[in-house]
Amino acid sequence: MNIVVCIKQVPDTTEIKINPTTGTLIREGVPSIINPDDKAGLELALRLKDQFNAHVTVITMGPTQAEDVLREAYAMGVDRAILLTDRKFAGADTLATSHALAGALRKLDFDLLITGRQAIDGDTAQVGPQIAEHLDLPQVSYLQHLEFDGKKTFTIKRKIEDGYEMLQVDGPCVVTVLSGAYKPRYMNVRGVVESYSREVEIWGFAQIEVDESKLGLVGSPTRVHKAFSRGVKAAGELYEVDANEAAGIIISKLKEKFII
């Protein structure tokens, strides 16, 4: 089985700084990480590797320093890493990004394509589904759990607003994974030691055969109206009690806040 995971390098901050004139992110001085949803997707791929000996490729689109997340992925255990980078891709919105990634993915053979649900710097949740549309593949978003039958069918638990859906889908298909679905493994020492001596393939415009008008700033219909940091919700309180006691707690909490 071949698996491709799309990952994104994102700034590690809940306090995102934004250039007030351009509305774009200021990345300087902010440490970068693998986007949490993508990292959970990477863990899913590596578990399928452990279980079914799957071959795992990671791909990221970004500037040259995005290579760092590919090195981290190597240290976690992936087999192949591709950096999609070209000046022509600069300024891409989700649509132009998904066109570029889809172009690269057409060159790769896979049974399962994994992306994160959304990136913490953009929060759009669009790139994964758009890739699936460009490639005309079935897609399951908001993946909470996946089982593979060892042949070609995936049984997927998908999280929706008020519960879960259980779906079956045959590969090749696209899934977008929630960060809470899989706890990412640690890098391992040998993986770290060897990471920077392994090859990261650099692919550019020349490799992907996508109409230039669909790429970069030119191919981006999105105009940023306003960008803002997402408010932080207070951590909830968790009670493990029986239903009667639970009802009592809920009522007292609602009363406390003068809701009832």
Partner 1 sequence: MDFSLSKTENLFLQMIRDFTENEVKPLAAEVDEQERFPIETVEKMAKLGIMGIPIPVEYGGAGGNNVLYSMAVEELSAGCATTGVIVSAHTSLCAAPILEYGTPEQKAKYLPKLASGEWLGAFGLTEPNAGTDASSQQTIATVDGDNYILNGSKIFITNAEHAHVYIILAMTDKSLGVKGISAFIVEKDFPGFSVGKKEKKMGIRGSATCELIMENCVVPKANILGKLNGGFGIAMKTLDGGRIGIAAQALGIAQGAINETVKYVKERKQFGKPISAFQNTQFQLADLQTRIVASRLLVHQAAYKKDQGVPYSVEAAMAKLYAAETAMEVTSKAIQFHGGYGYTREYPVERMFRDAKITEIYEGTSEVQRMVISGALLK
Q: Should residue 192 be labelled a site residue for partner 1 when binding is judged by CB under 8 A?
A: yes
CA-based diameter of the chain, in Å? Answer: 64
Of 20-28, 82-90, 107-115, 183-191, the segment contacting partner 1 by CB under 8 A is 183-191
Which of 196, 213, 248, 255 touches partner 1 (CB under 8 A)? 196
Residues 69-98 vs partner 1: string with x where CB under 8 A? Answer: --xx--x-----------------------
Q: Are 110 and 2 in contact (CB under 8 A)?
A: yes
Please tell me whether residue 202 adopts helix, strand or coil conformation: strand
Which residues does residue 19 pair with via DSSP β-bridges, in sequence order?
Answer: none
What whole-number distance in Å separates Cα of residue 92 and Cα of residue 111? 27
Q: Does 29 bind partner 1 (CB under 8 A)?
A: no
| Residue number with CB closer to partner 1 (37 or 72) | 72
Asked if 190 touches partner 1 (CB under 8 A), the answer is yes
Q: At what angle do helices 36-52 and 67-76 cross, to 10 degrees?
A: 40
Does position 202 interact with partner 1 (CB under 8 A)? The reply is: no
| DSSP SS3 for 23 | coil
Chain-centre distance for alpha carbon 257:
37
Closest approach, Cβ 219 to partner 1, in A, equals: 33
Q: Which residues partner with 170 through β-bridges?
A: 153
Q: How far is the CB of 186 from partner 1 (least distance, A)?
A: 5
Q: Residue 116 in 3-state DSSP?
A: strand
Interaction between residue 189 and partner 1 (CB under 8 A)? yes
- Under rule CB under 8 A, residue 51 binds partner 1: no
193 touching partner 1, by CB under 8 A: yes
Residues forming beta bridges with residue 164, ordered by sequence position: 159
Task: For residue 252, count other CB atoms closer than 10 A to its CB.
Answer: 11
Stretch that binds partner 1, among 16-24, 192-200, 205-213, 217-225 (CB under 8 A): 192-200
Judged by CB, which is closer to partner 1: 71, or 157? 71
Choose, by CB under 8 A, the member of 64, 188, 213, 229 that binds partner 1.
188
Please report how close the Cβ of residue 187 comes to partner 1 at its closest, in angstroms: 4
Among 133, 194, 209, 245, binds partner 1 (CB under 8 A): 194
DSSP-based helix, strand, coil % in the chain, nearest 5 = 30, 25, 45
Beta carbon of residue 90, minimum distance to partner 1 (angstroms, whole number)? 24
Calpha distance 192→182 (Å, rounded): 21
Residue 81: name the closest of 53, 102, 104, 97 by CA. Answer: 104
C-beta of residue 59 within 8 angstroms of C-beta of residue 116? no
Q: Which of 30, 125, 137, 187 binds partner 1 (CB under 8 A)?
A: 187
Where on the chain is the footprint of partner 1 (CB under 8 A)? 68, 71-72, 75, 186-190, 192-196
